[in-house]
Amino acid sequence: MIETNHHESVLFNESIEGLNIKSDGVYVDTTLGRCGHTKGILKNLGNSGKVIGLDQDMDAINYARINLPDPRLTTIHCNFSKLQDNLSQLNLLGKVDGILMDLGISSPQIDNADRGFSFNKDGALDMRMDQTQTVTAASWLRDSNETEIANALYQYGEEKRSRVIASTIKEYQKNNDLNSTLELANLISTVVRPGKKKHPATRSFQAIRIVINDELKKLSEALDQSIGALSTN
């Protein structure tokens, strides 16, 4: 019987049921986070089953290594766009029974102000999921021109006020460094009205996060590689 019952991870029961776990199967959790889904997979695996857990955030990998020491779990710090390379190294390419992707950011990433994802807490304007990457939200906003910023806010955040926000940012940067999350959130609030339950900076923060982590391209690369990673049995 499939063991479920967990309330923190998104669509936990549905994901575990959807993976149709075989007790000796090989599963890849491409977005380990705080290991909620991985714990569920491990619970349903026998001794010869395997989980390969990937995350581009070293904090997530360290968390798993400390809190979930399990001989059936292999953790790898990498972007899921490197799925096939990593499976090849483990001699598991074409032998995987199921792949899970729980996209976006984790609660610890939002809750830790220093990671720069939250418009409610002051922290460095960072937004990198992978701390080894060099481009941060602050450096991207500094080095991009007004049109590039406006286009990104519109394309990835569907922000209707994208042009006004971009010009406000560039105007501000003439006399100030824009290095903190609250500085950016407050600046956006001067030109965007709050929604019923939405902070005025919600769409812009989402868009900038997608740019900094190149999320759509990485997802497309990972999806392309997923079919070849799976077992045909």
Ligand X SMILES: C[S@@+](CC[C@H](N)C(=O)[O-])C[C@H]1O[C@@H](n2cnc3c(N)ncnc32)[C@H](O)[C@@H]1O
**Which residues would be at the binding site for ligand X (CB under 6 A)?**
9, 31, 33-37, 54-57, 60, 79-80, 102, 104-106, 129, 218
CB of 219 to ligand X, least distance (A): 7
Concatenate the DSSP letters of all residues of the chain into one string: -------SSTTHHHHHHHHT--TT-EEEES--TTSHHHHHHHHT--TT-EEEEEES-HHHHHHHHHH---TTEEEEES-GGGHHHHHHHTT-TT-BSEEE---S--HHHHH-GGG---SSS--BS---SSTT-S--HHHHHHHS-HHHHHHHHHHHH--TTHHHHHHHHHHHHTTS---BHHHHHHHHHTTS---SS--TTHHHHHHHHHHHTTHHHHHHHHHHHHHHHB---
CB of 21 to ligand X, least distance (A): 15
**Cβ closer to ligand X: 183 or 215?**
215
**Cβ closer to ligand X: 116 or 200?**
116
CB of 62 to ligand X, least distance (A): 12
CB of 229 to ligand X, least distance (A): 14
**Cβ closer to ligand X: 26 or 105?**
105
**Cβ closer to ligand X: 29 or 159?**
29
